[in-house]
């Protein structure tokens, strides 16, 4: 069973909160990149494109960590350690458009390129830490 996200920090999924996503590369290397994220009530969702490095490595290594930050306060954040429990194209385009609305105020994601297949990664939280300074 995924652990739940504390109510105190659910507002981070309504703000323009940048999540720093750590994924495993080969050997002991890790990649850390800023991403947009959302929440479906159980999973933290991130969105990428089929065939990109992030896509390829999350298919291989499901263990990921997100540090989801409050844009109004760098030292208020939610750290979610978990596993990619589902990878799907279903709803991925709707999700990236909803993220574009929230983060950019755009009606549609403006950086779509011909041939891009959007992918949704549903991350089941296993350990959650909050920091609220």
Q: Using CB under 8 A, list all residues that contact a copy of itself.
A: 18, 20, 22, 24-25, 27-34, 61, 63-67, 69, 74-75, 77, 79, 81, 127
Sorted by sequence, the CB contacts under 8 Å of residue 106 that are 6+ apart come out as: 100
Distance CA 39, CA 26 (A): 28
Q: Residue 79 or 91: which CB sits closer to a copy of itself?
A: 79
Min dist. Cβ of residue 51 to a copy of itself (A): 18
- For strands 30-35 and 73-88, give the pairing: unpaired
Q: Residue 36 or 122: which CB sits closer to a copy of itself?
A: 36
Q: Residue 81 or 102: which CB sits closer to a copy of itself?
A: 81
């Amino acid at each position: 069973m995924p652990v739940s996200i504390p109510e105190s920090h659910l507002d981070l999924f309504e703000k323009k909160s940048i999540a720093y996503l750590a994924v495993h590369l080969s050997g002991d290397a890790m990649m850390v990149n800023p991403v947009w994220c959302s929440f479906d009530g159980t999973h933290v969702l991130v969105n990428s494109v089929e065939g990109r490095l992030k896509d390829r490595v999350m298919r291989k290594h499901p263990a990921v960590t997100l540090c989801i930050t409050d844009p109004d306060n760098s030292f208020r954040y939610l750290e979610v350690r978990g596993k990619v429990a589902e990878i799907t194209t279903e709803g991925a385009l709707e999700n990236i458009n909803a993220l574009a609305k929230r983060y950019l105020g755009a009606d549609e994601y403006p950086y779509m390129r011909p041939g891009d297949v959007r992918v949704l990664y549903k991350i089941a939280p296993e350990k959650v830490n909050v920091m609220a300074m």
